[in-house]
Structure 1
C-alpha cells in the first residue's frame, strides 16, 4: 500500500516550524503570536491564506468544502517548498483526508482531523452473521397504509416541542378528519418516490445543559426537534427495524432491544465486581468506557455499510440514507432560531430511528471485542470464561471485563482504536475509568502509566445505579433519597382509596424482585445464563441454600423472596425436560421435596437434580414402598408416562388476575401483593377526566385537611396566630377558608350559584357530597367539580400572596379571571368531544 499522510492528535503545544491550517479565531491569534508560517482561514469570502508578513493566497470557488480542500492543498505545496513536513490542521472532513492522502509526499498532520479508514465489506460480512430473509425484506418494504400512518401519529405523546414548521402532533390529531387524506399522501410519497423535501427534514437543535455550570458547547446536549411529518415517516421505518433487532444484536447490548432489561446488566455487573474489595482475589480489571459525543460522531457511510452487510433491501437503505444525510439545522438560542446549515456526520438525538441505528453500529464493536478475546488479544475476567462474557453495553455506556494485566488492557483498547477508524466513535478518556483488584502494585502502575484512565473506586454508578461489593447502606442510598420529599403514608393508596396512586416502595421492591425471579426462571439473557452457570450450578432455584456464600446481596434478596414466588409460579409438564422432579410443583400432591424431605430422594431412588423427563425415560423399575404416599407417587409417575405429550415443551406460568399465564404482569402482581384499603367516597370528585392536575392535587390536600392553614400551623410553630389571613376575624381552618370567609364566600357565590341553583351552599361537607355524587348529570358534574377546584386553587394562591406581603388582585378582577379560566376549559373539553 502507498504511504499515507500520518494523522496525530493535538500535541500539548504547537510544534516549531509548523504550518497551521485553522478556522478558529482564537487559534488564529495564538498562531500569529507564535510566529508560525501560515494560517488558513475559511471564515472570510473568498477563502484566504494569511501569513505574518501579509502575503495572501485567494481561491474563488463555488463550494466551501472545495475551497477548503484547494486552500489546504496549496498550503501543503507552499510548505513543501519551505521544507516544512509538519502541518497542524483543524478540520474533520473525510473528503479533506482523502485529498491530503493523495499528495505524493506524505506529511505529518496534527490536530482534530480524523482519518476514517475505508471499510472492506468482506471484513464486515465476516463479522456480522445475520442476513435479512426474504420475509424480513417484505416486512421492511411493505406498502405503508393509511391505518399504519394513523396509528403512528396518534401514538405520539402530546405536549412535545414542534419542529421548525411550528405544528405539534396535537394539531394533526385534532384536524385528522380534514387533513387525513393529504397527510397520508405526503407520507406515502416519501416511500413511493424516495424523495424527502428539504423543509420536511429541517430540524431545530435545542441545547440542553448536561450540568448546572455549562460554559462550553461540550457541556450541552443537542436535542433535535423534528417536524411531525418527518417523525411519522421515520417512526414507520423504526417500528419495522426494531422487530429485527433481537435477532441481530448480541446479548451484551440491553438498550432498545425488545425483551431485554437494563436491570439485568446492572445485576450481572454487580455479581462480577462482588469481590473487588478483597485483597485475596485473582487479578482482574473493569473498564467503564464512555464514547465521546456518541450520536454526533457516527460516520454515515459506516451506518449504511452495516445495513448493506446485514442484507437490508436497497429501498430501506435509501430511505434511511435520506433521513440521516439530508437534514438541515437551526440552533435555538434564547428562544430565537440562528443559522441554517447541514451536517457531515452524526445521528440526531430526538429522531426515533437514531437509537436503533446506533445500537446496530455498536453491535459491530461488541462483535469485534468478542473476536479479539477469541484471537488471544486479551484474556477473560474471572467468572466470565464459561459464558465468554467480555463486556456489557447499554447504548453507548460500556463496561469491559478483562484479566488484570497490561497486555489484556492494551488488547481490549486496541479494538476501540480499530473501531474508531471504521465508525468515527472514540473513547472519551476524561470520562472513562478503570477499576482494578488483585493486581500487584508494579503492574498497576504500569497500566496507569500507559493508559490515561482515571482510577475508580467502588461504588461506581453504572446506568445511574451504584455497583457495590457489599449490601447497600444508608449512605449509599443518600444521593437517591436526597431527591425525594417526605410524604404522608396515605399517598401510597390508590386514588380510589384516597391516595395519590404512588406505590409503596417496599411493595414495589418485592414485585420487581419477583419479576427478576421470573426472568431468571424463563429467560435466556446473559445474566440468566451466568446465574445458572455460576450460582445455581445447574441446580434448581428452589433448592439452593438461602445462606449460600456466593452471590451478591441482590441475589440473596431474591432467594428470600422464594416463598412468595412459589405462590405465583406454576409449571405445566410437557416433555418434563425443564421440570425439577423434586422442587417444581408438577405433582397433584404438591412439591415433593417439601412433602418428603431429603430422605425422599433415597427412598425413591431419584437424584435431587433429576428432571421429570429423566425419571420417566430412565427405565427405572417401579418400587414397592412401605409408605403409602411413596406408592401413590410411583403410580403418578406411571400415569404421567402414558399421557406425556411427545415433543411438547414444559410451559412455565405466572399467576395473573384471570389465572396462570405465560407472561409476567407487574401491575397485576403488585395488585395481588399490596395492602388494600377500603375505597373512599370522594375520589371521583377529585380525580375526574379533563381536570387540571395542579387543581386536583390541591383539592386532594384540602379534602385530607393537609393544607397549611393557620389552625394547623400554630401546632408546630410557636408564636403563630391562627387568625384568617383573608378576613382577619376568625380562626383560619379549611372549612372557614373554603367558603365561610367573607371574601371567599363572595367569589364562590359568583362562580357557583348559577351552577348549583337551589342546591347552592358554602358548607364544605355538603359540597363534598355534591361533587362526589356519581348519579348526577355528566355535564353538571364536570362544571361544578371543575369550578370547585378552580376556586380552591385561586383562593389559596391569593391567600399566600397576602401572607407573604404581596398585594391581592381586586375582588372583581379575581372573579372574572376564575370565570374566564373555567369557560376556556369547558370550551376545550367540548372541542375534544
Structure 2
C-alpha cells in the first residue's frame, strides 16, 4: 500500500524546474503528434511559451480535465523486422501531442519513483535498480540447482498476445485503488488514459478519430508503468494460490520458495510436477485473462521440465494447450539453462559479435559512428545476456584477435618496435620465469610504488585532475558524439595537426607546417587551438559569454578546461 507521504508526493503541484527538466531530458527531434510540434520547439521558445505551459499544467492539476484534442494521438505502424509480409510483422506506435507528452512524462517520472514499493521483486522491468538480467540470473541459478540436486521442477513459460493493446481499464483502476493510490491520482490517470481518442495514419494522412475503449498505447510514457500494475495482479494471484496450498513453487531452501519471474508480460512460472499445480496454473491464467483482458499466446507459451517424466510433461502441455520444450531455451531472447563451460554455449555470442563488428565495419566510420557501433554490439541481446557468465578463455582469446574498431592491426604496427626492444637481450635458461615489479628494487609489488608511478604518469602526460573532470563533462551533455570525441582528443593532444603528421612521418618536411590561420608559428595543438591570435579572439569572446575574464597568459589547454568546468552540462 502507498503511504500518505507517497500520495502527497504524487499530487504535488508541478514546479517550473521539474517541468523544464522533463522537457530538456527528451529528444526534441521525435516525430510530432496531432499538434504538429516537437519538443525542440518548446526548447527554443521556452521563455515565450513557459507561462502558457505552466498554466495548462496548473489547470490540469486542479481539475483533472483535458481538452479532447489534447488527449488525441496518431497511430502508426513500424516494422518489427526487415521485409515485413503481413500485419503481425508491424508494431503499433502512438504519436502524442507536445503538451500531452510533457504531462505524461511528469506523471510517469513521479510514478516511477514510488512504484518500486508496490511491485514485487520478481518483476525486473522498467523500475530503478532492476535489470533484465535479474530474472535471467535467478532462472539460471534455479535450473543449475535443480540439476545438481536432481529435483523435479516444471517451468511454465507464459506469453501474452499484444499485451498492451488488450488491458482492461476497469481492472487497472481497481488495482490502483487496491494499492492505495489517492483519488486525485486516479482521476489524473482517467483523464490521460481512459478519455483518449486516436487516428490511424495511412500514407501519412490521419483517418477520422475514434474513441479508445481499452489498452495502453505503445509509445506513451505512462504505459510501461501502468502495465506493471496490471501484471502485478498475476503475481498476487499466484501468491494467493501458494498461501491457500493450491500451488507449490520450487523449494530453494526451507525459507525460500520461487513461484514466478517476470519481465513486463514475459512470465516464467515454476513449481512441482503435480496435477494440482497444473490445474492451479490453468485456473489462475484463465481467471487473470478474464479480469485483466490479457490473452495467452498459446503458440509461444511453453512447458519445460527438469527431471520430469516425458509422458507427464507431454500430458501437462496438452492439458494447458502449451507446447512442450526442452532445456536450454530462450527467455527474453537470452538462452537459459545452457552450460557456460561448453564452447557451444558461447558460439552464438561470438558469431553475433563477429557479424556486428565485421572487419570492414569500422574502417570508414567517424569516431562518433564507431562509438555508436560499439554500443550497438555491447547492448545486443546475445552479448548482454551473457554478462552474468564468464567467457571461456579460448573464446576470449579468439575475440582478441579480431580487428580493432579504432586502429589497424596493432601487432603489425608495433612489430618493428618490439624487435628493437628485444634486440641484444639474452634470456636465462637455467631458472624459472617469474613476475617482477620494476618500480621496486626487490621486484615486489607495493601499493605505494604503484601510486607514485600513476602520479608520475599523470604529470608526465599533463593530464591534471581538472582535465579528467573536463573529459567527464564532455560525455555527460547534449553535444553530438563527434563534437565530444573531438574535445576528448583535444584534451589528450591526439588530433592530427601538421606538426603531429610530420612527427609520425605521414607528411614530409617539404610541406609547409606553419599555422593555417596566421602562418606565424608551427601548427601544433597548443598553437592551433589556444595561442594563435585569431583563436585567442574567439576564446576571449567565449569567456565573456560565460562571465569570466580571459587571461592571455593562460597556458596550453587550461583555457579549454576552464571553459568546460564553468559551462558544465551544455544547455541551450
TM-score bracket, shorter-length normalisation:
0.5 to 0.7
Q: Which residue of 1 aligns with 2:269?
A: 400
State the alpha-carbon separation in 1 of the partners of residues 529 and 463 from structure 2: 10
Any idea what SS the aligned residue of 2:123 has? Answer: coil
Question: Which position in structure 2 is the counterpart of 1:410?
Answer: 279
Measure, in 1, the Cα distance between the counterparts of 2:167 and 2:132: 23
Aligned to 2:402: none
Equivalent residue in structure 2 for 1:158, among 18, 24, 28:
28
Between 370-379 and 687-696, the greater mean CA deviation after superposition = 687-696
User: What's the secondary structure of 1:282's corresponding residue?
Assistant: coil
> What CA distance in whole angstroms lies between the structure 1 residues aligned with 2:375 and 2:99?
41
1:153-302 alignment runs, 5 A limit: 153-274=23-144, 281-302=150-171
1:387 to 248, 256, 262: 256
Structure 2 Cα separation of the partners of residues 188 and 282 of structure 1: 59
- 8 Å contact 2:34–2:74 — kept in the other structure? yes
Give the distance between the partners of 1:265 and 1:697, measured in 2 at CA.
36
Q: 1:766 aligns with which of 493, 499, 523?
A: 523
* Aligned CA distance change for structure 1 residues 401 and 483 (closer, same or farther; 3 Å): farther
The answer (yes or no) to whether the contact 1:384–1:390 under 8 Å persists in 2 is: no
Contact 1:378–1:407, Cα closer than 8 Å, also in 2 = yes
300-309 vs 159-168, which moves further: 159-168
Alpha-carbon separation, structure 2, partners of 1:294 and 1:436: 26
Shift of 1:342: 2.3
User: After superposition, where does 1:105-116 map in structure 2 within 5 Å?
Assistant: none
TM-score by length of 2: 0.66
Given candidates 286, 304, 307, the residue that maps to 1:438 is 307
CA drift of 1:151 comes to: 2.5
Shift of 1:446: 1.3
State the alpha-carbon separation in 2 of the partners of residues 779 and 334 from structure 1. Answer: 52
Q: Which moved more, 1:435-444 or 1:389-398?
A: 435-444
Cα distance in 1 between the residues matched to 2:372 and 2:32: 31
Structure 1 residues 367, 479: closer, same or farther in 2, change over 3 A? farther
Pick closer, same or farther for the CA change 1:766–1:501 going to 2, 3 Å: farther
Q: What SS is found at the alignment partner of 2:94?
A: strand
Task: Assess if the C-alpha contact under 8 Å between 1:253 and 1:392 holds in 2.
Answer: yes
Query: Deviation string for 1:495-551 (max 9, x for gaps)?
Result: 9xxx9699999x99xxxx9xx9xxxxxxxxxxxxxxxxxxxxxxxxxxxxxxxxxxx
State the Cα distance separating 1:366 from its structure 2 match: 0.3
Secondary structure in 2 aligned to 1:766?
coil
Answer whether contact 2:120 2:232 (CA < 8 A) is retained.
Answer: yes
Number of residue pairs aligned between Structure 1 and Structure 2? 446
For 1:167 and 1:735, the matched residues in 2 are separated by 50
- TM-aligned CA deviation for residue 262 of structure 1: 2.8
Whether 2:78 is the aligned partner of 1:318: answer no
Match of 2:441 in 1: none
8 Å CA contact 2:196–2:211 kept in 1: the answer is: yes
Change (3 A) 1:186 1:757: same
Displacement after TM superposition at 1:226 (Å): 1.4
Matched, 1:372 2:258: no
Per-residue deviation, 1:314: 1.8
Aligned 8 A contact 2:251 2:258 in 1? no
Secondary structure in structure 1 of the residue aligned to 2:268 = strand
Higher relative contact order (CA 8 A, sep 6+): 2
Residues 389 and 692 of structure 1, relative CA distance in 2, 3 Å threshold = closer
CA contact (8 A) 1:284 1:381 kept: yes
User: Taking structure 1 as reference, are residues 554 and 384 closer, same or farther at Cα in structure 2, changes over 3 Å only?
Assistant: farther
Distance 1:775 1:188, change over 3 A: farther
Partner of 2:93: helix, strand, or coil? strand
Q: Structure 1 residue 768: deviation in Å?
A: 5.4
Shift in alpha-carbon separation, 1:774–1:360, aligned structure 2, 3 A: farther
174 and 383 in structure 1: CA distance in 2 versus 1, 3 angstrom threshold: same
Query: 1:464: how far off?
Result: 3.6
The answer as to whether partners of 1:377 and 1:412 remain within 8 angstroms in 2 is no
Q: Deviations over 1:145-165 (max 9, x none)?
A: 333322322222333222221
Structure 1 Cα separation of the partners of residues 459 and 162 of structure 2? 48
Distance 1:459 1:161, change over 3 A: farther
Note the alpha carbon deviations across 1:767-813, whole angstroms, 9 max, x for none: 65654547874774899xxxxxxxxxxxxxxxxxxxxxxxxxxxxxx
In structure 2, C-alpha distance between the alignment counterparts of 1:690 and 1:281, rounded to whole Å: 54
SS in 1 for 2:523: helix
Q: Could you tell me whether the CA contact under 8 Å between 2:303 and 2:325 is conserved in 1?
A: yes
TM-score by length of 1: 0.47
| 1:402–1:409 Cα contact (<8 Å) kept | no
Whole-angstrom distance in 1 between the partners of 2:23 and 2:277 = 49
Once residues 122 and 180 of structure 2 are traced to their aligned partners in structure 1, the CA distance between those partners, rounded to angstroms, is 22
| Native 8 Å contact 1:273 1:469 kept in 2 | no
CA RMSD of aligned residues (A): 4.7
Provide, for residues 345-375 of structure 1, a one-character-per-residue CA deviation record: whole Å limited to 9, x for no partner.
0011212111111111111110101111222
Deviation at 1:316, TM superposition (A): 1.3
Mark the runs of 5 or more structure 1 residues left unpaired by the alignment.
1-129, 517-551, 558-670, 706-732, 746-752, 784-830
Structure 1: distance between partners of 2:45 and 2:127 = 34
Gaps in structure 2 of 5+ consecutive residues: 394-453, 497-504, 542-569
Q: In 1, distance between residues paired with 2:65 and 2:49? A: 21
Instruction: Please name the residue that 2:357 is paired with.
Output: 485
